[in-house]
Amino acid sequence: MIVADQLTKRFPGRPTPAVDDIDLEVRDGEILGLVGLNGAGKTTTIRIAAGISLPTSGKVLVDDLDIVREKRAASRHLAWVPELFPFDATARALPLLVYYAGFYGIPRREARSRARELLARVGLQEEERGRLRHFSQGMRKRFSLASAMLVDPQNLLLDEILNGLDPQGIAFVRGWVLEARRQRKAVLLSSHQLAELEALADRVAFVHRGRLLRTVDRAELARAGTPTLRIVIPNIDAAALAYLATLGDAHAEGPVAWVARPKIESHEVVAELVRRGFHVAECHRETTSLETYFLELIGEAR
C-alpha cells in the first residue's frame, strides 16, 4: 500500500506548488490511475513516492514505511518505472541488470539467473548482450519493467509507461499490470492514454495545477457527468430537433442527435418520435468517458 499524506512540493522560483497538499491511497490489489494535464504534478508526485525527490512537507508511506525517514527499507517495497529511459545507453542488457541486482544484495550467480529469467519474461531473451542504445522505444520500456521486477516488489509506480508503445507493446504492458493486480500488488499508473487507463484502473485520481480534484471509482464514473441520449433518426428534420429540445440540451450532426440531461426515459422518447412520424434506428444512453469526465472536471476547476 502507498499512502501520500498532505504531500506538498515547492520549487524555487515558482509562485505556486508543483504538488499542493495531496492525499492519495493506493491499496493492495488495486490499480489507481493518475490523470492530469502536462504540469499538473503527476510526475512530481510519483518521484516523491519513489524517494527520488524530497517533499517540501507531508509524507509518503510505502507499506507503513516512510520513504524519507526509512528510505532504504521502504525502497525495497517498491519499483519505479519513469517515463524517460534512465539507463546508460552504452550498457548491455544482461550485465546492467546483474549490476543493479547488487544494490539489492542479490548474490552474483543468483542475479545472473534472475536477470536472464526477467529478460525472457519481457521478450528480450535474444538481446542479453545487446546495447541499450540500439533498443527501440518498446524494447526500452520492456527493459525498464525487467529492472523493476528484480526484487518482485509489492508496490509499483508507473509514470506514463504506455507512451511511445506500439499496439503489441501496449498489450504486453496491459497484461503485466493486470497480472500485478492479480498478485495483490498496489499499482499507481499515470497515463495520457485515457482509454487504456479507463480499461485498467479500479479508481482514478484527477490532479490539476498541483491539487487533487477528485478520486472516483468505476461505478461513480459511470454515474457521474452529464447523462446523454444518443438517437439515430434517418428522417430527422427541424421538427424532430425542436421536439428533442423540449426534453433537454439537444443538438444534431446529420441523422444523429444528442439530448443532454433528458427529462424522460429513452423508451418514452422513442415512442413519441415514432408517434410523430420519425423512424428511430437507434437510441441509447451514453456513459461518460474518462476523457469527457476529466475535461468537465478541470473546466469546473478554472
Query: CB count, 10 Å around CB of 36?
Result: 23
Cell of 264: 424522460
Contacts of 220 (CB under 8 A, 6+ apart): none
Residue, of 155 and 284, whose pLDDT is higher:
155
The CATH code of domain 2-222 reads 3.40.50.300
Average pLDDT over residues 270-297: 83
Digit-coded pLDDT (tens) for 245-266: 999 888 888 899 988 778 888 8
H or E stretch at 9: strand 2-9
* Whole-number average pLDDT of the chain: 88
| 186-190 vs 155-159, strand pairing mode | parallel
Q: Torsion over CA of 260, 263, 267 and 272, rounded to 10 degrees?
A: -100
CATH 3.40.50.300 domain range(s) in the chain: 2-222
Which SS3 state, helix, strand or coil, does residue 70 take? coil
Do 118 and 97 form a contact (C-beta atoms < 8 A)? yes
Report the CATH superfamily, name and number, of domain 225-301: YebC, transcriptional regulation domain (3.30.70.980)
**83 to 66, 110, 126, 155, 163: CA distances (angstroms):** 24, 29, 24, 17, 8
- pTM for the model stands at 0.75
Predicted pLDDT at 301: 63
Residue, of 77 and 162, whose pLDDT is higher:
77
Digit-coded pLDDT (tens) for 115-144: 999 999 888 889 888 899 999 888 888 898
| Whether the predicted pLDDT of 224 surpasses 70 | no
Place of cell 490523470: 35
Q: Torsion over CA of 58, 60, 64 and 68, rounded to 10 degrees?
A: -90
Write the single-letter amino acid at 153.
P
| Whether the predicted pLDDT of 225 surpasses 60 | no
Digit-coded pLDDT (tens) for 61-114: 999 999 999 998 898 899 898 888 788 889 999 999 999 888 778 888 898 999
CATH 3.30.70.980 domain range(s) in the chain: 225-301
Cell of 301: 476547476
Residue, of 24 and 171, whose pLDDT is higher:
24
Predicted pLDDT at 142: 87
